A and B are shown apart, each in its own frame.
Chain A
């Protein structure tokens, strides 16, 4: 079974550039989560969607960050303009909404902003 698929796996770009991270959740899952992981702050929830609708975006750090989920099988996290402090590993996870269900994570995108 295919797990959560993220792309790219690594991204290195200069500050000021637009960065787009992509995620394909597990088929049939209707909740999708974006996390950021750093050594300083650990794993932080940025935003999550339920049935393609953003439910809680209180973790999105600034207006430079935006996320979309145009359909059940695709989501993007965009940073524009990017800054060096955005450097981190960004994870996408998905889960079934109903009941008590675990989130399943992709292998992340390691983002470096120079």
Chain B
């Protein structure tokens, strides 16, 4: 029979616009969160991380927001560029006893239109 692939949510934005990618995490005990970017043919690349004692953290053109009340994480990309086209993964971790294990989300595909 025909195999069914993992259908990634897709976000399509115009070049120059801001992008917001959302992620719902599963474990209320998670205290560390990371966003990764994966381009075709490459491994996931670290973008930005945030600890649970923070609500917001900014990097270069990227901002991560954390809402622990509803277990929601978002990645905002300012002035989106064609080079931002990729699959974006959120990951959650709990360093209290797992020694570094991360749980990855399914990913969101970002497509930037020139």
Contacts and interface: CB of A to CB of B under 8 A. Distances in A.
Majority secondary structure of chain B interface residues (helix, strand, loop or mixed): loop
13 contacts: A31-B99, A31-B100, A41-B6, A42-B104, A48-B100, A50-B99, A50-B100, A97-B100, A102-B34, A103-B100, A104-B46, A105-B36, A108-B42
B25 interface: no
Contacts, number: 63
Interface string A1-44: 00010000000000000000000000000010100001111110
Classify chain B: how many residues form its interface, as a range.
Answer: 20 to 34
Interface of A: 4, 31, 33, 38-43, 45, 48, 50, 55-56, 91, 93, 95, 97, 99-108
Contacts of A101: 100
B102 A103 contact: yes
A50 B5 CA distance: 33
B43 A105 contact: yes
A33 B99 CA distance: 11
Contacts of B60: none
Interface string B21-60: 0000000000110101000011111100101000000000
